[in-house]
Amino acid sequence: MKFALNIGFSRIAIELKQLLRDREATFWTLAFPIVLMVIFGSVFRNQTLGTLEITFSQYFVAGMIASGMLYTSFQNLAISIPQERDEGALKRLQGLPMPKTSYFIGKIGLVFVTFVGQTIVLIITGILFFGIDLPTEPSAWWRFTWISLLGLVSCTLLGIAFSSVPKSGKGASAVATPIVLVLQFTSGVFFFFGDLPSWMQNFASLFPLKWLTQGMRSVFLPPEAAVLEIAGSFESARTAQVLLLWLVIAAVLATVTFRWNRRGEN
Amino acid sequence: MRNSDLAISARAVKKSYGSTQALIGIDLDLHHGECLALLGPNGAGKTTTTEIFEGYRKRDSGQVSVLGVDPSHGDLQWRSRLGVVLQSAHDLGELKVSEAVAHFGSYFRDPAPTSKLIESVGLIEKADSRVRSLSGGQRRRLDVALGLVGNPELLFLDEPTTGFDPEARRQFWELIESLKARGVTILLTTHYLDEAELLADRVAVIAGGIVVADKSPASMRAETLRTATVSWQESGETKSVETNNPTQTVLELMARFDQEIPGLSITRPTLEDVYLQLVGSHYLGVK
């Protein structure tokens, strides 16, 4: 176990090194959510929600931070792992005395650092342009921390599991991106969740993103915004349960379905 | 089967992909400290065979023991005794050569010292260069360094010199010779007969999913001396005779021509001819 952890940390360092040196990839990882935030935020700038003094822009910033979690974990890995498979990187690793867990730890670390970087940039943009206030109570930051941790680990493992689905690195983006988009549309990122038809709300409630966006609203919107939620509250306990359940499912799926080689190559 | 002299022992190994039988029944032994060259046309089953030994693929049936372990149940401890140099990898582009070697070394209890290893594969001037800036041959040498980083007992080299210029190949051969001198057991897959003849203690030819020949390079070389082709010019055309006694043929010709024999040449089959005949006769036999 100690061995797996040591190599795992060594993998985090090497994964980060490789990402940060790829300037283009680093730039777009950070810039893409900001571009989206600026476009959507500007369109709905004057649109307030209900009778509250909350604009859709603010609502959207919370949604984008949650989406950033899905980008940096699920979407990123669902695309980059099949590419690594094509490059022969995974085959090389398979031939080395490295536990699978160490590879997973490396990916989780990579995702964490990317998410933190992306979120800092998103929050700064939100504060500067869309009147977002940083929460002051420690309880809000505590919520932010556990929601992010649960969300990132489960979506990282889901990304690892999903990486076995695309046949090649070339097609990976075409398979993974629509899933993220559909979840964003149905989970209250691009639209106000309360306006969606109830079947769509029910569908979204099955997946983590709805709970992550709701959780981020509980952090970045004032407490009175809870009345905008379907349940009339931010449902912290429920969020924790759903994310934990997904964490278990994702861990099992990742361990069982992960493959070093392409399909048909064994 | 449990012969401890053997680094690799394979008996009646079969493997099919769908309805295609890739391996019909491979029997192969590799002794400790030996270098075995695996030859064969593309699609003959070389890669499938080595990947079964490396634990990358599962066999359908037959028995395999690699360093005393069945590769389909090989654990990390077993893996740490192997070095694998695969055919084509184009990963690690953003890392420096020294970083890549040091990183993979960290997976082993007792890795080879980074700078010494880089020097031994002739990349010392490139130690601080990004991997993506390396030429094809340099990349290949990095792959070999990464295969050696754990001081393996058994090294798999899959077509290591494909795409090398003659100078790079020569350097590479020296590297392999030095590994052999250190007692590393090597399974070398190659398309180059000169490489096999120079490096290998034994040559196994795989064709159509079975081993069609398993002999020393010297005995393959000896076969090139069994026959000769004598050819000459006569009445405006080239005539030739294949014979086991070329001297006798030339004597007869001398008697007939009574002077210089026009366009006389005596040629022996090359190693390549012997190889092609081995492979060809197998496929003819199958038909």
What pTM was computed for the model? Answer: 0.85
Instruction: Encode pLDDT of A108-123 as tens digits.
Output: 999 999 999 999 998 8
Q: Is A88 on the interface with B (CB under 8 A)?
A: yes
CA distance A126 to A12: 29
The Cα of B165 is separated from the nearest Cα of chain A by a number of Å equal to 23
Mean residue pLDDT across chain A = 88
Taking one residue from A and the other from B, the number of pairs with CB-CB distance under 8 angstroms is: 65
Which among A14, A88, A95 has CB closest to B88?
A: A88
pLDDT of residue B170: 87
Mutate to test the interface with A, among B16, B17, B56, B128 (most CBs of A within 10 A): B56
Mutate to test the interface with B, among A7, A22, A91 (most CBs of B within 10 A): A91
Question: Are residues B150 and A14, on separate chains, in Cβ contact within 8 Å?
Answer: no
β-pairing, B154-158 vs B82-85, is parallel
Is residue B22 classed as helix, strand or coil in its secondary structure? strand
Q: Is B107 on the interface with A (CB under 8 A)?
A: yes
B62 in Cβ contact with B25 (< 8 Å): yes
Structure tokens at B183: 């007692």
Is residue B65 classed as helix, strand or coil in its secondary structure? strand
Residue in chain A lying closest to B156 (CA) = A95
Q: Exposed, middle or buried: residue A145 (CB in 10 Å: 0-12, 13-18, 19+)?
A: exposed
Which residues of chain B are within 8 Å of residue A94 when distances are taken between CB atoms? 56
pLDDT mean over A228-253: 90
A251 vs A233 pLDDT, higher one: A251
Closest CA to A184 of A77, A72, A70: A70
Question: Are residues B80 and A94, on separate chains, in Cβ contact within 8 Å?
Answer: no
Q: Is B92 on the interface with A (CB under 8 A)?
A: yes
The Cα of A5 is separated from the nearest Cα of chain B by a number of Å equal to 11
Main-chain phi, psi angles of A129, to 5 degrees: -110, -25
Which residues of chain B are within 8 Å of residue A6 when distances are taken between CB atoms? 106
Domains and their CATH numbers in chain B: 6-221 (3.40.50.300), 224-286 (no CATH)
Range picked from A195-199, A227-231, B134-138, B269-273 for highest mean pLDDT: A195-199
Question: Are residues A18 and B77, on separate chains, in Cβ contact within 8 Å?
Answer: no
pLDDT-above-90 percentage for chain A: 49
| Ordered mean pLDDT values, 10 residues apiece, chain B (287 residues) | 76 90 91 93 88 92 93 91 87 91 92 91 90 88 91 92 80 88 93 89 91 86 84 88 89 85 87 81 62
Main-chain phi, psi angles of B82, to 5 degrees: -110, 150
A169 contacts: CB under 8 Å, gap ≥ 6: A79, A82, A83, A84, A85, A86, A87
Q: Is A96 on the interface with B (CB under 8 A)?
A: yes
Which among A14, A22, A91 has CB closest to B86?
A: A91
Of A134-138, A144-148, B46-50, B66-70, the one with minimum mean pLDDT is: A134-138
Phi-psi sector, B268: left (phi>0), alpha (psi -120 to 50), beta: beta
Residues linked to residue B11 through DSSP beta bridges, in sequence order? B63
Which residues of chain A are within 8 Å of residue B130 when distances are taken between CB atoms? 21
Q: How many CA atoms lie within 13 A of A70 on its CB side?
A: 24
Main-chain phi, psi angles of B141, to 5 degrees: -70, -35
What DSSP string describes A181-192?
Answer: HHHHHHTTSSS-
The Cα of B86 is separated from the nearest Cα of chain A by a number of Å equal to 7
What confidence category does residue A231 fall into, taking pLDDT thresholds of 50, 70 and 90? confident
Which among B89, B106, B150 has CB closest to A87?
A: B89
CA distance B153 to B148: 9
Question: Are residues B106 and A7, on separate chains, in Cβ contact within 8 Å?
Answer: yes
pLDDT of residue B286: 53
Main-chain phi, psi angles of A260, to 5 degrees: -75, -35
Instruction: Encode pLDDT of B227-269 as tens digits.
Output: 889 999 888 889 888 888 889 999 888 888 878 888 899 988 8
B191 in Cβ contact with B39 (< 8 Å): yes
Q: Is A18 on the interface with B (CB under 8 A)?
A: yes
pLDDT of residue B3: 54
Q: Is A253 on the interface with B (CB under 8 A)?
A: no
Q: Is A87 on the interface with B (CB under 8 A)?
A: yes
Instruction: Encode pLDDT of A5-52 as tens digits.
Output: 889 999 999 999 998 898 888 888 888 888 888 888 788 777 777 777
Q: Is B95 on the interface with A (CB under 8 A)?
A: yes
B281-286 long-range CB contacts below 8 Å, 24 or more apart? B281/B212, B282/B207, B282/B208, B282/B210, B282/B212, B283/B207, B283/B208, B286/B208
Q: Is A45 on the interface with B (CB under 8 A)?
A: no
Residue in chain A lying closest to B105 (CA) = A96
The Cα of A248 is separated from the nearest Cα of chain B by a number of Å equal to 26
Main-chain phi, psi angles of B8, to 5 degrees: -130, 135
What confidence category does residue A266 fall into, taking pLDDT thresholds of 50, 70 and 90? low
A235 vs A53 pLDDT, higher one: A235
Q: Is B103 on the interface with A (CB under 8 A)?
A: yes
Main-chain phi, psi angles of A25, to 5 degrees: -60, -45
Residue in chain A lying closest to B100 (CA) = A14
First to last CA, chain A: 28
The Cα of A228 is separated from the nearest Cα of chain B by a number of Å equal to 47
Q: Is A139 on the interface with B (CB under 8 A)?
A: no
Question: Are residues A87 and B90, on separate chains, in Cβ contact within 8 Å?
Answer: yes
